[in-house]
Amino acid sequence: MSASPLVLVVDDELIVRNSVDSLLRSVGYRVKCYEMPLDLAQDQESLAEADCLILDVRLPFTSGLDFQQKLSEMGSDVPIIFMTGHGDIPMSVRAMKAGAVDFLPKPFRDQDMLDAVGAACSTRAVAKGATQLEAELKQRFSSLTPRERQIMDMATRGLMNKQIAGELDLSEITVKIHRGKVMRKMMARTFADLVKMAETLARTQISSTSQ
């Protein structure tokens, strides 16, 4: 069985930390609480595993919004829910534009918090699934020979076996054999699956080169 979602909570008020911790644990979440952003920043393992971060806006020595930016610079993409007793519209807009998934004023209703955490964890699950799929596709693609990669590229761009054979100076039967190997190594059930895999790999390559 997979572990339940991990939610991190950063708030300098003990009563708030305890309240959120109790609420989330009551419905099955794993929870880790921190008094200061620095405490969380030093817990890289939990940050990498986390499915959601609940972050107070007003904290000693820094603001939750500044810490949100620091997390982004660190490469963290954990969904963030902000909570504050001093929220205003500009603050909310800045948080949401920077990637926050929700913004809850204190005191918040229990159900509002549960709804926000549920949505954030769902978003995280989708992202984790997509990342895992991309990693698996890259691993499968790396197992192809240079010729198989060439033929996969040409086939998924719409070229027929006869056209591929002509361009590569191969026999049509040789192209068919290579295509069969490509299908097996990429674990594609249909040619349509292979086309989708090629599109995913292409998007991943574009994303990595633009960073």
CATH number of the 6-130 domain: 3.40.50.2300
Q: What is the pLDDT of residue 167?
A: 94
Full DSSP string of the chain: -PPPPEEEEE-S-HHHHHHHHHHHHHTT-EEEEESSHHHHHT-HHHHHH-SEEEEESEETTEEHHHHHHHHHHTT----EEEEESS--HHHHHHHHHTT-SEEEESS--HHHHHHHHHHHHHHHHHHHHHHHHHHHHHHHHHTS-HHHHHHHHHHHTT--HHHHHHHHT--HHHHHHHHHHHHHHHT-SSHHHHHHHHHHHHHHHHHHHH-
**Chain-centre distance for alpha carbon 194:** 23
Q: What is the pLDDT at residue 77?
A: 84
Is residue 194 within 8 Å of residue 186, measured between CB atoms?
yes
Q: Where in the chain is the domain with CATH 3.40.50.2300?
A: 6-130
Query: Which tokens in the block code for residue 161?
Result: 């076996």
Distance CA 148, CA 55 (A): 49
Please tell me the pTM assigned to this model. 0.64
Question: Is the CATH number 1.20.140.10 carried by domain 143-210?
Answer: no
CATH 1.10.10.10 maps onto the chain at: 143-210
pLDDT tens for the 211 residues of the chain, in order: 457 899 999 999 999 999 999 999 999 999 999 999 999 999 999 998 999 999 998 888 888 889 998 998 888 889 999 988 776 667 777 777 777 888 888 888 999 999 999 988 888 777 776 667 788 888 999 999 999 999 999 999 999 999 999 999 999 999 999 999 999 999 998 888 899 889 888 877 754 444 4
Both tokens assigned to 12: 């300098």
Please tell me the predicted confidence (pLDDT) of residue 129: 62
Distance CA(118)–CA(95), nearest Å, equals 19
Q: Residue 160: what pLDDT?
A: 93
Q: What are phi and psi of 6, to 5 degrees?
A: -100, 125
pLDDT at position 211, please?
46
